[in-house]
Structure 1
Amino acid sequence: MSTELSFPPFDNVRLATLSDLPRIAMVAAAGFYHSPTFQFQRPYYADFPDDTLSSYWTEYQSAIRNPADVVLVAEDVWDPDEGLGVYGALRGSSMYKFGSSPTADKVIVGVCSINLKPGSWRIGRFQTGNHVDSPTPATPFSTQNRDQCAMSLELYGAATAPAKAKYLAGRMRLSTLAVHPAYWRRGHATRLVSWCIRLADKDDVPVGISAAPMGAAVAAKAGFEEQETVRIKRSTAQESVSQFGVPNVGDVELWVAIRQPSRSPSDTSTTCSDSPTGESL
């Protein structure tokens, strides 16, 4: 059996290419903006939207090239009014045009990344073909992370690390999931999650996720079962970072879950999606 035949069918999703990076960065920023985690970790997003875009650009560029990762994208017919669904600072970014000017009728509207299980025979099997050989667009700006708060990142990491180590270490993992707000509730998040769990089912391995509440809704429908929910209370977070001028963004939650492999074909519906984003960092 060829390597290609050992993959789940690419039904309305495909492997990301390096040339997709401008669009992927824009979709990630637009989608993750609606997660409390984004608001907590990137409180200065309105002042430094180029930093937000360039950081996602760098993150997904590394994942596409990483032999132990898989990056998938979902596409849809371009909506010329999609900018109305993007927060103002992003739409006004000088980098925004790189991801908002389509060259075809269909555009990327969703993205997810998958960490393969350590030692998986699939490691390196996705880094072939044009998705790694295609030209890499030059990033218009360097990643300076001025949109982020170091204290918030430290607090978030310390709070979530124990649950991640307990339940996700050594497992295949659905690590990020985002859909552009203009294309929500069209099934794109569900299709991306479905491909991930079909891959896990083929290899008969569990797959884990750590997601914000919006992504948790999609994952739960796909058979992920909660192991723990980590909560960073608003009062605790605000007390820790208020001296740095970080705005109060409310409670932050991380839903940690695992889906056990199924020996029957995955039957996750691809017709609807109630939940568009699920950033886990």
Structure 2
Amino acid sequence: MNDFPAPVPTPGYKLRNATLDDLDEITNIHIDGFIEEPMDDYCYPLRFEQYADHFKWLSVEYQYYLENPHKYVVQVAEAQRQDEGDATADAKPVALAVWNLSVLADAPNLNRGLDQRKDAIPKRVEAYIDVAGRRYKPLGIFSEWAEKQLTLSVLTVLPKFRRRGIATQMVSRGISHAIGKGWPVTVCASPMGELLYSHLGFKRIGTETIQAGDEEESFSSAVMVLLP
């Protein structure tokens, strides 16, 4: 992802690739930014009651992304702190994006701790993993473009920093990268995310539904693509 074009600056914010030094900040952004995320509500309904457990295993997940840079790129948007008028104070990450830039590339199995964590309903997480794992396989929702696509896997902005153009800036950078390759950008979007992606030109091509076994409860995402 180092060949991404330079983003158009959003005043007061800058984008950069994350490192392992950002792991705690990234984990916090995910938890606070996805407070109303349907997938997290469905798979991890006890994430706030079992906060320490959720933080631990979510950190494992983001460490996995950071340690497999051939497949994933994690980016943060930083807001420049202004303590007592000092605009040069340390920057603080306020938004997060994870791009899957090599969707068919192998990576080690991610240990999600389903045999021991208390924040999750394991069969729901397993149902999600099963459906997500078929997205790029023959007849999968994104199989048409095979390895020549850029998938946005995660995008979230802390609530107090929304509606400032940060999410648009982060997605636009990925779009520019994909356009340079002649690739589409693909995403499975929550209802709130669908509004943003539609504004940026993505088209809805279907629906992905996650449902564990015979449960009545489920959640659905909008399957969307931005063609080059």
Shift in Å at residue 184 of structure 1?
A: 1.3
Letter in 2 for 1:178: T
Q: Is the 8 A contact 1:77 1:106 kept in 2?
A: yes
Cα gap change, 1:16/1:163 in structure 2, threshold over 3 Å: closer, same or farther?
closer
Question: What SS does the corresponding residue of 1:240 show, helix, strand or coil?
Answer: coil
Matched, 1:17 2:19: yes
Q: Is the 8 A contact 2:42 2:218 kept in 1?
A: no
In the alignment, structure 2 segments of 5+ residues that lack a partner are 84-88, 106-112
Matched, 1:69 2:75: no
TM-score (norm 2): 0.77
Shift in Å at residue 200 of structure 1?
A: 0.4
Shift in Å at residue 107 of structure 1?
A: 0.5
Q: What is the rounded CA distance, in whole Å, between the counterparts of 1:79 and 1:44 in structure 2?
A: 36
In the alignment, structure 1 segments of 5+ residues that lack a partner are 81-103, 121-141, 242-249, 262-281
* RMSD between aligned residues: 3.0
Q: What is the rounded CA distance, in whole Å, between the counterparts of 1:216 and 1:71 in structure 2?
A: 21
Alignment equivalent of 1:152, drawn from 121, 124, 130: 124
Q: Is the 8 A contact 1:163 1:256 kept in 2?
A: no
Bigger share in strand: 2
Bigger share in helix: 1
Q: What is the rounded CA distance, in whole Å, between the counterparts of 1:164 and 1:39 in structure 2?
A: 25
Q: Identity over aligned residues, as a percent?
A: 29
Shift in Å at residue 145 of structure 1?
A: 3.0
Cα gap change, 1:259/1:105 in structure 2, threshold over 3 Å: closer, same or farther?
same
Aligned equivalent of 1:230? 208
Matched, 1:252 2:222: no
Letter in 2 for 1:208: T
Matched, 1:185 2:163: yes
Q: What is the rounded CA distance, in whole Å, between the counterparts of 1:151 and 1:240 in structure 2?
A: 10
Deviations 1:111-162 (CA, angstroms, capped at 9, x unpaired): 0111113589xxxxxxxxxxxxxxxxxxxxx995321101222344456665
| Structure with bigger RCO (C-alpha 8 Å, 6+ apart) | 1
Question: What SS does the corresponding residue of 1:167 show, helix, strand or coil?
Answer: coil
Aligned equivalent of 1:53? 55
Q: What is the rounded CA distance, in whole Å, between the counterparts of 2:126 and 2:104 in structure 1?
A: 29
What is the aligned length? 203
Shift in Å at residue 240 of structure 1?
A: 1.8
Deviation beyond 4 Å, 4+ runs, structure 1? 157-165, 236-239
Aligned equivalent of 1:240? 215
Question: What SS does the corresponding residue of 2:208 show, helix, strand or coil?
Answer: strand
TM-score (norm 1): 0.63
Q: What is the rounded CA distance, in whole Å, between the counterparts of 2:199 and 2:180 in structure 1?
A: 19
Aligned equivalent of 1:126? none
Letter in 1 for 2:175: I
